[in-house]
Amino acid sequence: MQRARRFLSTSFGSAIGGGLVVAIAGLILVEAGVIDAGEESVALAPAPLTQPASENSTRGLTVNEIYDRNAGGVAFIKAQVTQTTQDPLGLLPRQQQGLASGSGFLIDPDGHVLTNAHVVEGANTVEVQLGEDGEPQDAEVVGTDPSSDLALLKIEDTKAAAPLPLGDSAKADVGDPVVAIGNPFGLDRTVTTGIVSAVQRQIQAPDGFSISDVIQTDAAINPGNSGGPLLDGSGRVIGINSQIASQGGGNEGVGFAVPIATAQDVVSQLLAGGEVKRAYIGITGGEISPEIAEALNLPVDQGVIVERVFDGGPADSAGIEGATGEATVGGETFPVGGDIITKVEGKEVTGMEDVISIANERKPGDELTLTVLHDGDEKEISVKLGERPATIRDAPASQQP
């Protein structure tokens, strides 16, 4: 049995700070860990760590050379988890033990291993195996960050492997060659190849918020690849393989990796205090296109219509106003009557993804200057960013429609 989440395309699907982004019509984002619970197998969704594929050396490495150099540092991760299931007779819920498996990789000589947060979510114990001849060993979960779907583990014995070199995910270009190494369906240290299919994608994190600057690849990624490395043509990690988009639950050449730049920031915070703090604006909004602008008689043909403002959030405190109604255009419903964001920090925005990306680069307490249109009048509003709630579901609902 597979567990999958379906994200339908919509013009409005962003809850910011960084918000929920729904971006792929009719596709299923499948978590890439495998849970075996008795006779059942449940597909989860995870991915690799990315680095710049474009900054290659004078001679790119062959796939065999990349594999020989890095496969030993790729981890096979098994997590004993407890699942709560509903009693078939509708009585009290019951707990069931299961085994989740995924991938990870060694990032330093001290034994720190990076993986996806969903690979170890709810784990009672975690076991890591490095190298072809490495023995399985218990791992400590140093910390997790559901907002980036990353987790940091710690093991004692690293003699069987060398840390993987890290690259620069910001320099990854469309068409660059990439290599993924992981444990799909429990088949340890499997290598697949492909290219960078797109950059600056956004995917939904386990806590409902969005992950920015994600790398898309057509390298085959399947359940069990979660947390494994995505490497550039020089064998450097540019991303963590985390999710796939699929109509059938298997690989269809659309995989997503969390950028290594994001991972490096998360790791530094986890090592410093075990907790990652993220900025939060507290709005949802939808993208304005020229067609929507014409149909709704809007004063601009690009920007973000503020749909919803979360009560007591930073945007609410700053006076940002959400929609007062809705209209139907081409069979779709759009908010009307709310503020229109045209710029953030003086940069024009074309949609909610732009606002999310800028917010995700800031810290709680930072201030963002938003240029907004309210009742046709342009004004600049300074928003002091708050600290993101644990999940998007914890954000209080706005009184606005």
Residues in the chain, pLDDT under 50? 1-58, 394-401
How confident is the model at residue 192, as a pLDDT?
A: 97
Beta strand spans in 91-206 (E): 94-106, 112-115, 123-130, 137-138, 140-145, 150-154, 177-182, 190-204
Q: Is residue 181 a contact partner of residue 70, using CB atoms and an 8 Å limit?
A: yes
How confident is the model at residue 90, as a pLDDT?
A: 65
Give the domain extent around 359. Answer: 279-394
Hey, is 316 helix, strand or coil? helix
- Whether the bond between 18 and the residue before it is cis, its omega within 30 degrees of 0, is yes
CA distance 257 to 295: 37
CA distance 6 to 342: 30
Q: What are phi and psi of 357, to 5 degrees?
A: -60, -45
- We report the CATH number of the domain holding residue 376 as 2.30.42.10
Same domain? For 35 and 78 the reply is yes
Question: Which residue of the set 210, 212, 226, 234 is catalytic?
Answer: 226
Looking at the domain assignment, is residue 175 inside a domain? yes
Q: Is 374 noted as a catalytic residue in this protein?
A: no
Residues near 68 by beta carbon (within 8 Å), at least 6 away in sequence? none
DSSP per position, 226-256: TT-EEE-TTS-EEEEEEEEEESSSS--S-EE
* Residue that finishes a domain, picked among 273, 306, 326: 273
Same domain? For 203 and 301 the reply is no
* Residue that finishes a domain, picked among 246, 273, 300: 273
Same domain? For 50 and 23 the reply is yes
Looking at the domain assignment, is residue 216 inside a domain? yes
Same domain? For 69 and 200 the reply is yes
Looking at the domain assignment, is residue 12 inside a domain? no
* Element at 117 (helix H, strand E): helix 117-120
Same domain? For 47 and 110 the reply is yes
Same domain? For 379 and 256 the reply is no
How confident is the model at residue 48, as a pLDDT?
A: 34
Question: Which residue of the set 149, 168, 207, 218 is catalytic?
Answer: 149
Q: Is 112 noted as a catalytic residue in this protein?
A: no
CA distance 370 to 345: 6
- We report the CATH number of the domain holding residue 92 as 2.40.10.120
Number of neighbours of residue 83 by Cβ within 10 angstroms: 16
Looking at the domain assignment, is residue 1 inside a domain? no
Same domain? For 372 and 286 the reply is yes
Residue position matching structure tokens 């550039």:
232
Same domain? For 211 and 258 the reply is yes
> Which ranges of 246-385 does DSSP label H, i.e. alpha helix?
260-273, 290-296, 314-318, 352-360
Hey, is 299 helix, strand or coil? coil
Q: Is residue 168 a contact partner of residue 213, using CB atoms and an 8 Å limit?
A: no
Same domain? For 48 and 185 the reply is yes
Question: Distances from the Cα of 311 to the Cαs of 282, 365, 397, in angstroms?
Answer: 8, 18, 6
pLDDT tens readout for residues 179-213: 999 999 989 889 999 999 999 898 988 888 889 89
Question: Which residue of the set 11, 101, 112, 118 is catalytic?
Answer: 118
Same domain? For 70 and 189 the reply is yes
Torsion 167-277-73-244 (CA) sign: negative
Hey, is 313 helix, strand or coil? coil
- Residue 271 burial by CB count (10 A; 0-12/13-18/19+): exposed, middle or buried? middle
Same domain? For 284 and 264 the reply is no
Looking at the domain assignment, is residue 55 inside a domain? yes
CA distance 233 to 225: 19
Looking at the domain assignment, is residue 95 inside a domain? yes
Same domain? For 268 and 318 the reply is no
DSSP per position, 24-80: -TTEEEEE--EEEETTEEEE---EEEE--SSS--SSPPPHHHHHHHHGGGEEEEEEE
Total domains in the fold of the chain: 2
> Which ranges of 304-381 does DSSP label H, i.e. alpha helix?
314-318, 352-360
* Residue that finishes a domain, picked among 273, 295, 322: 273
Looking at the domain assignment, is residue 118 inside a domain? yes
Looking at the domain assignment, is residue 8 inside a domain? no
